[in-house]
Structure 1
Amino acid sequence: MDKDSMLTHILQSEGPASLLGGQSPVTVINGSQHISPLTSGGPEARGPDGEADSGRPSLDSAIRTALSEGTKTVVLEGPDGSGKTTALQRLVVGWARGRNLQNFSFVFHFGLGRLNSLGGALSLEALMLRHHGHLLPGSVPQLLQDPEGVLFVFDDLDQWRHSLDPSALPHLCSDPGEEAPVSRLVAGLLHGSLLRGASFLVATRPAEGQKFPSGARLQVLGFLKPQREAYMEGFFSADPAAATTARRHMESTLGFYDICTSPRFCWTVCSVYKSLMDAGAKLPETLTQLYVEILARLIQSLQLNEARSRALVSALGKMASHCLLHQHSSCTKEEMDSFGFGQDLASVGVFLRVDGDGPVFSFHSQPMLEFNLATSFLLDASAAEGVEELLERHRGRADFLDVFLTGLSEPAQRRPLEAPLGELDPGRVADFARWFRSSSEATLKGRHKDQHRRRFHLLLQTQNESLVKEVAAASAQTGIGYGDPTLRDCVALNYVFSCIGEMELLNLYRTRDLTEEQAKALAPAMSLCRKINLSDSSLSPGAVPHLASALSGGLTEELDLSHVRLGEEEFRRLCEGLRNCKLRVLKLLACELTEAVCGDLASALTSGAAQLREMDVRFNPIGDRGFVKLCKALQSPLCRLQELKLQKCELTAASMEALMSDRCLLTELDLSLNNLGQEGALLLCHALRRPGCPIEKLSLSRCELTPPVFRELSSALRGGTSRLKSLVVGLNAVGDEGVKPLWEAVAHPNCVHEDLDVEMTGLTDECARDLCAALRAGGALRSLELRNNSLTDASVPALVRAAQDSDSMQEMNLQYNDISEDVFDVMDECGKIRY
């Protein structure tokens, strides 16, 4: 094959750039700063927000690798504008220039959308000669004899209107000389019956019900952040600051970060932004405003009067609806005539892609298709269909329709479009506004989190602060919660929170990967929340500084980071935010904190601006040395901590002498599941006996306590100086005699004890007499936890009477003892008994 002729054919076949179609592939190929989109082996490799790690291969290299390894069919799957067509033509041009794929003797490129209109019967040879007129005479028989050296490149498989299902065809062609409809030729090629041994490179958008040929699948990811940065630096090479402004604005302000992966979209946005920047105009705040700007420019370029402009947009809307409902990405001339284009059909190249000799017409992108549908709906009230009917009819097929309707209902956003089109129908706009307000209030009162997300996205599109306040007022009182937010979610939440000004709760429970960009977008919203729940979540290292920034100077009073694994450096960054915040409750349960970070935490606790009152560090291996560091903070007059939970923190008696400071303000201390032993527990008892000791609640469950410890606890309770009102000593098997001193304390007039937990301490019926006597004598105990002991039916009548006779007792729990159904009636006589 004459590669020079092939190259000339390709490079001369493309038209100029268009605002919607983007730069022509040839322009990109010949450019000096081509940036290949990225790919992965499948959709599961795509991360949240469509991002992926930097190790993803470029699309160009992934295709070359697959074909060089002998893969016969490679399918590229990706959305509009993701770079598939450019990648295909770049490879063909590279082959013609001798740079790649030189193991193939012949490479043929077909746009399947252009073949739809071909009628009659053709042989494979005739088809190739018809669409590749540059072929040398006699070359086709040569390639037919060596199919292993042939590569077919099929673009736009999603536009192919014929079935590829072998069961739907009479038979598959196998003879290259046989004349058959083009649909059977293409099916025979892709299924391997025709020209067996040839290779195929196929590109398609995701299409419902499409029968893809078997082979390697490459998911086209488009541009991720590094590629976008490089692309925009090239586009705005004369002004690096403009490049940064444009990228940040496109990625976050528009609120639809995921479509920014499209190279074509990047070119369109850059083109619009550059013209606006050059004119000193404001950049669009929403996706709707961007498409308003685009459509207004395209209409104005045609210089039509208002009536024809409205008729043209109406026809585009009918075409858009047809494409959505029938899942056709392209339309024939006959179909276009039925939509009412009439004399303006020659002008549609400004809005649409026109392929083939037929020709066939298609929208350049799904968002533009849906924007035309939304505009035409609000432009003309002649149709009886209302907004709910419109949305229901296109449900599951339209991703942006409600977004654009919402934006267009706001006067400030649609104003540039009304210059060439005239005013949108006031009745339609008012009807939509009423529907949106009522449906938003109903949605946000419901429990469906996915619907909540979508509504926040729509509220962002309104850019109407007073409307957001009115619609989302109830959410401010109850809070907003869902895990795994995308960056789009974060941007929308940030806007809604900024309008409301204050939020009770942001619940991000089980967010699998809060990235730096997500946290940055969400930080202003987090600073407005009274409570933030990130428990069981995963935070990237870059996300932590933004969380710390939100806490510092923010409104947050409670933060739950339980089961969040933070490295030492990330935890230090978090502690910086704790130095100047309003946080009163911090939950760090099971965060794998060690002694190394306790110094940073102690420093934060003693900051003059720190307000922390409750801290939960249970199930962290901080050890004695870490606890001693925390205790130094507790001894500082600047520390305001009152409640500290230290269950299973690998503490021993060695660190107990550190709760002994006169300056400690702790009112609640939980040391359960630590091997304190007798020595450590006795040190605690001495602290309890100290006049002025503030501890009111002490938990020592499963701490290896001994009878002498129970005696010392009893002595402290009876001493008249202890403020202890709640004591948990369960799961310490000291038996009846070991617990007996506590009954003596309960009976003592100096004891102010109100809640006692002796679960699983080995109690039997032998304790019942002393226990009942204590309940009758004492006047403070309200709650008694007796679960998981060895009490039997014999003790029940006496315990029930004692509970009934006690004025203070409110609840006695006898669950999981050796009590039978025979005494259930007896226990039912007293409402204070739980069994």
Structure 2
Amino acid sequence: MDKVAVLTHILKQEVIATLLGGELPVSVIKSNRYISPLTTDGLAIDRNAEGNSLDGALQAALTEETRCVILTGPEGSGKTTALEKLVVGWAKGEHFQNFSYVFHFKFRELNSLTGTLSLETLLLHHHGHVPPESLPLILQNPADVLFVFDDLDQCKQSLDPSVHTLCSDHSQAASMSCLVASLLHGSLLKGAAFVVASRSTGSLKFLRGTGVKVLGFLKPQREVYFNRFFPDPASAEKARIHMEKTLGFYDICTSPRFCWTVCSVYKSLMDAGGKLPETLSQLYVQILVDLIKSLSLNEACSRGLVSALGKMASHCVLDQHSSCTEEEMNSFGFQQFLTSVGVFLQVHGDQSDRRVFSFHSSLMQEFLLAVSFFCDNSTPGGAEKMLENHKSHAKFLDLFLSGLSEPLQRRPLESLIGELNSDQLIDFKKWFKSHSQQTLQGFRREDHLRCFHLLLQAQNKSLVKEVIKPPARIGISYGDLSLQDCAALNYVITCLGELEELNLYHTKNLTEEQAERLAPTMSLARKINLSQSSLSPGAVSHLASALSGGITKELDLSHAHLGDEKLKLLCAGLRDCKLHTIKLTVCNLTEAMCEDLVAALTSGTSQLCVLNLTFNDIGDEGLTKLCQALQSPLCKLQDLQLHSCKLTAASMESLSAALCSGQSELREVNLNLNTIGERGVEALCKSLQHPLCKLRSLKLFDSDLTALCCPHLMAALMSEHCSLSELDLSVNDLEQEGALQLCQALRQPGCPLEKLSLQRCELTEQVFKELGSVLTSGTSQLKSLAVGINAVGDQGVKHIWDAVAHPSCLLEELDVEMTGLTDACLEDLCAAIRATKTLKSLELRNNSLTDASVPALVEVFQDSENMQEINLKYNDFSEEALSIMDECDKITY
């Protein structure tokens, strides 16, 4: 095979250059500006690197064992240029020298071949570089042959082997699709190798081989590309950043073709001192204006050409045609434009009666469809019907319509083709407003985001405020946003000026780029929810910057697994912000980060009042450090959640000292699930008796307490300086002796306790009797009592029912879950509900009430004026009884 002829043929191709087609592969190769696109495996950017660049991936994939490589990627991702580079490299002797023959075919050109032909005919007459005398060698040595098929998605007929009679004879004539299917499925020239490039298409399911997915250009490749395009590095940086940040469609920015188009338009505008486009619609208006100007048409002809292109676009979208014949083109109104459509369309085929026409870019196809809609006098059903008809295959149509509906964006185009149809514009705007308002009243994340994209394209601040007002449900979870979603959401929120809650729950990987785009929105959000999320260090830095100087009051990073280093970055923003609450539950924090928290809390500008460190292993050393902040007059912390933080009695002295310092503002401390023990409680109780201690709530759920702790607690509760109104001692072995000592304190006239939890504390009937006596004493302030999971049965709980019925009882909430209640308690229970003037909430889960109790329960709860909620879950009720309970909306079952 004549490699020189192959090389000459490729490098001397004469193809019309256009803004829409991207830089011609031959131009890229000859000018040595080729940058290999990325595959899914990596980020190599050196054009000579084999690593995970496309070139390297192809060479690694095509082996003696793997004879077919299937290259997939979106439009403009660099597949065609990469294949031409492959063939040029082979012809120059740079790679794939194990193949003696390389045949490069493009389906856009093969589609012009009609009728039947044999493999021999295809190779001899439609390739052009095979001397007839070489053909027998090719056919006898298939392992030396590599076929390169580009644009497989353009194949007009199926490659399903079941619909063809596959051929094995080199001289047998068959249809083009049958010939290709026979080659790919091995019945013809078995042993040959193949590289096939295609967009995602159903035909791929019929192929077997190694798949290589093309990503195109990520940020490093774009940087290299723009720097090679623009002579001035500052101009290159300005253009790239503007494209990435402003246009808001980052998946499109991965396309080398799109990058070339943008660079070409931007360079022209920058050289002329013009303003760069703010939206995708403005970009394509500029492209269309440049293309029309290049044809020097008058206004009527320009409008006629745009109308014809719009009709062709609609035909291609609706009928899923990638190309059109000349006859079809004439039916669209192209008769007078066929000699000049090359700037808009690809033209394939040498003979006029066999020529086919297709769009260079699906984006331009959809943009022209949008323009033609606004050019028409009327469209049956208006914008809604038009969008409904095209929605399955037109991804950007509504976005282009939104952009064109704004006068500022369409004005340059109207100067060439005349004003767009006012009725169509009004119809679209009417649909857009009603559709957006209806969408934003719902809870579908995808629909919300699409609406934001439309508003971004419109670039109309007053429209945003008109569309987004109550009852719009801005604040549903928008987790896992793409970069373009971030840009759209950020535009909308900056137009609104503030956001009640930015809900990014369960964002799997918030990158630095995403956080950078969202930073203005973060600074305008009163609450940020990033629970169950994963943040990169760069994202944390942008979050910290957004908090600093922003209006955010609450930040939820629960289960974000930050780690100490990321928290250090975050603390930089905590020193100068309006943050009131931060939740850091399960964030993999240790005592090492406590110094950073101390610095933030004592910065003098921190407003932090609530700090939740639940399920972090800060240990005693960590809490001791935090106590330094608590003793500072600059620390405003009021609520400290230390649930399951590996704490012991060793750090309670430090906490007690802080509480007594006179500087601490702490009102609530949660020490649940720590090993506090008697010594720890003793230290805490000393602070509770101190006149400078302001603590109102102390939670010691499952904290290794016994009856030995109760004398200390009793002394604290009876102290004249104690201000504790809530105490949780649940899941501790207090037993009868300890609980009775507590009751002694509760009976004291000055005891401030209003909420007491004693669930699963090994309480006895005697304790319940004493609690009942306390509740009716006239001195108790208790309004909430939880004594569930103590097996005292009906007789034990009867003391509580009797107390509830007493006029001196102030209880509003009562929890007697899993206490062994049966139907025998019904009379006492109902009597208590009828008599009480205060009880609002009753917890009766996990008892043994049956259907027999249901009618009376429903009746008494319905009749009660003050009762608001009753939980009867997990009792022994039948389906029939549950249906009866439906009659009372206060009952949960």
Does 1:184 pair with 2:178?
yes
Question: 2: distance between equivalents of 1:131 and 1:594?
Answer: 70
Structure 2 equivalent of residue 37 of structure 1 = 37
Structure 2 equivalent of residue 51 of structure 1 = none
Question: 1: distance between equivalents of 2:507 and 2:475?
Answer: 17
Check the 8 A contact 2:161/2:206 in 1, yes or no: no
Question: 2: distance between equivalents of 1:182 and 1:691?
Answer: 94
Inter-CA distance 829–158: structure 2 relative to 1 (3 Å threshold): farther
Q: Give the counterpart of 2:457 among 455, 461, 468.
A: 461
Following superposition, the deviation at residue 498 of structure 1 comes to 0.8
Amino acid at match of 1:359: R
Following superposition, the deviation at residue 209 of structure 1 comes to 5.8
Following superposition, the deviation at residue 496 of structure 1 comes to 0.9
Check the 8 A contact 1:613/1:643 in 2, yes or no: yes
Structure 1 equivalent of residue 318 of structure 2 = 325
Question: 1: distance between equivalents of 2:124 and 2:412?
Answer: 49
What is the TM-score with the length of structure 2 in the denominator? 0.90
Inter-CA distance 189–381: structure 2 relative to 1 (3 Å threshold): same
What does 1:498-647 align with in structure 2 at a 5 Å threshold? 498-647=494-643
Structure 2 equivalent of residue 305 of structure 1 = 298
Following superposition, the deviation at residue 202 of structure 1 comes to 0.8
* CA distances 1:154-186 after superposition (whole Å, capped 9, x unpaired): 1111111011112222x1111001122222212
What is the TM-score with the length of structure 1 in the denominator? 0.96
Question: 2: distance between equivalents of 1:310 and 1:565?
Answer: 58
Check the 8 A contact 2:347/2:355 in 1, yes or no: yes
Which consecutive unaligned segments of at least 5 residues does structure 2 have? 44-48, 834-838, 845-893
* CA distances 1:226-283 after superposition (whole Å, capped 9, x unpaired): 10000001111x2111111111111121010110000010000000000100111110
Question: 1: distance between equivalents of 2:700 and 2:649?
Answer: 13
Does 1:821 pair with 2:823?
yes
Check the 8 A contact 1:516/1:540 in 2, yes or no: yes
What does 1:274-313 align with in structure 2 at a 5 Å threshold? 274-313=267-306
Question: 2: distance between equivalents of 1:102 and 1:824?
Answer: 92
* Matched residue SS, 1:583: coil
Question: 1: distance between equivalents of 2:50 and 2:546?
Answer: 31
Following superposition, the deviation at residue 212 of structure 1 comes to 4.1
Check the 8 A contact 2:696/2:726 in 1, yes or no: yes
Structure 1 equivalent of residue 791 of structure 2 = 790
Structure 1 equivalent of residue 478 of structure 2 = 482
Structure 2 equivalent of residue 776 of structure 1 = 776
Following superposition, the deviation at residue 214 of structure 1 comes to 1.1
What does 1:726-737 align with in structure 2 at a 5 Å threshold? 726-737=726-737
Question: 1: distance between equivalents of 2:723 and 2:261?
Answer: 71
Q: Give the counterpart of 2:96 among 94, 101, 104.
A: 101
Following superposition, the deviation at residue 14 of structure 1 comes to 4.0
Check the 8 A contact 1:158/1:329 in 2, yes or no: no
Check the 8 A contact 2:681/2:712 in 1, yes or no: no
Does 1:665 pair with 2:665?
yes
Does 1:350 pair with 2:343?
yes
* Matched residue SS, 2:251: helix
Check the 8 A contact 1:38/1:56 in 2, yes or no: no
Amino acid at match of 1:500: L
Amino acid at match of 1:774: V
Check the 8 A contact 1:80/1:364 in 2, yes or no: no
Check the 8 A contact 1:16/1:23 in 2, yes or no: no
Q: Which range is displaced more, 753-762 or 70-79?
A: 70-79
Inter-CA distance 212–239: structure 2 relative to 1 (3 Å threshold): farther
Question: 2: distance between equivalents of 1:211 and 1:647?
Answer: 54
Amino acid at match of 2:812: Q
* CA distances 1:587-611 after superposition (whole Å, capped 9, x unpaired): 1111111111101101100111110
Structure 2 equivalent of residue 742 of structure 1 = 742
Does 1:428 pair with 2:424?
yes
Question: 2: distance between equivalents of 1:534 and 1:449?
Answer: 16
Q: Which range is displaced more, 371-380 or 390-399?
A: 390-399
Question: 2: distance between equivalents of 1:437 and 1:450?
Answer: 18
User: Identity over the aligned pairs, expressed in percent?
Assistant: 56
Structure 1 equivalent of residue 717 of structure 2 = 717
Following superposition, the deviation at residue 364 of structure 1 comes to 1.2
Amino acid at match of 2:540: V
Structure 2 equivalent of residue 758 of structure 1 = 758
Larger RCO (alpha carbons 8 Å, 6+ apart): 1
Does 1:377 pair with 2:373?
yes
Q: Which range is displaced more, 142-151 or 116-125?
A: 116-125
Does 1:219 pair with 2:213?
yes
* CA distances 1:497-526 after superposition (whole Å, capped 9, x unpaired): 111111110011110100001111111110
Amino acid at match of 1:90: K
What does 1:119-518 align with in structure 2 at a 5 Å threshold? 119-169=114-164, 171-208=165-202, 211-236=205-230, 238-357=231-350, 358-474=354-470, 479-518=475-514
Amino acid at match of 2:20: L
Structure 2 equivalent of residue 49 of structure 1 = none
Structure 2 equivalent of residue 72 of structure 1 = 67
Amino acid at match of 1:157: L
Structure 1 equivalent of residue 17 of structure 2 = 17
Check the 8 A contact 2:17/2:343 in 1, yes or no: no
Q: Which range is displaced more, 402-411 or 71-80?
A: 71-80
Aligned length: 823
Inter-CA distance 824–511: structure 2 relative to 1 (3 Å threshold): farther
Q: Which range is displaced more, 3-12 or 263-272?
A: 3-12
Check the 8 A contact 1:481/1:505 in 2, yes or no: no
Question: 2: distance between equivalents of 1:439 and 1:39?
Answer: 39
* Matched residue SS, 2:34: coil
Structure 2 equivalent of residue 802 of structure 1 = 803
Check the 8 A contact 1:164/1:211 in 2, yes or no: no
Q: Which range is displaced more, 102-111 or 116-125?
A: 116-125
Amino acid at match of 2:803: A
Question: 1: distance between equivalents of 2:480 and 2:123?
Answer: 50
* Matched residue SS, 1:107: strand
Following superposition, the deviation at residue 471 of structure 1 comes to 1.4
Inter-CA distance 387–830: structure 2 relative to 1 (3 Å threshold): farther
* Matched residue SS, 1:481: coil
Amino acid at match of 1:214: R
Amino acid at match of 2:244: E
Which consecutive unaligned segments of at least 5 residues does structure 1 have? 47-53
* Matched residue SS, 1:546: helix
Amino acid at match of 1:798: H
Check the 8 A contact 2:576/2:605 in 1, yes or no: yes
Question: 2: distance between equivalents of 1:825 and 1:287?
Answer: 73
* CA distances 1:388-441 after superposition (whole Å, capped 9, x unpaired): 111111222111011100000000011111111111100101110111111111
* Matched residue SS, 2:7: helix
* Matched residue SS, 2:479: coil
Question: 2: distance between equivalents of 1:434 and 1:830?
Answer: 60
Inter-CA distance 700–125: structure 2 relative to 1 (3 Å threshold): same
Inter-CA distance 500–84: structure 2 relative to 1 (3 Å threshold): same
Structure 2 equivalent of residue 834 of structure 1 = 843
* CA distances 1:640-687 after superposition (whole Å, capped 9, x unpaired): 101101111111111111122232110001111111111111000010
Q: Which range is displaced more, 367-376 or 465-474?
A: 465-474
Amino acid at match of 1:785: A
Aligned residues: CA RMSD: 1.7
Q: Which range is displaced more, 365-374 or 715-724?
A: 715-724
Following superposition, the deviation at residue 553 of structure 1 comes to 0.7
Give every structure 1 segment of 4 or more consecutive aligned residues whose post-TM-superposition deviation is greater than 6 Å. none
* Matched residue SS, 2:731: coil
Structure 1 equivalent of residue 693 of structure 2 = 693
* CA distances 1:546-585 after superposition (whole Å, capped 9, x unpaired): 1100000110000011111223332111111000000010
Inter-CA distance 103–111: structure 2 relative to 1 (3 Å threshold): same
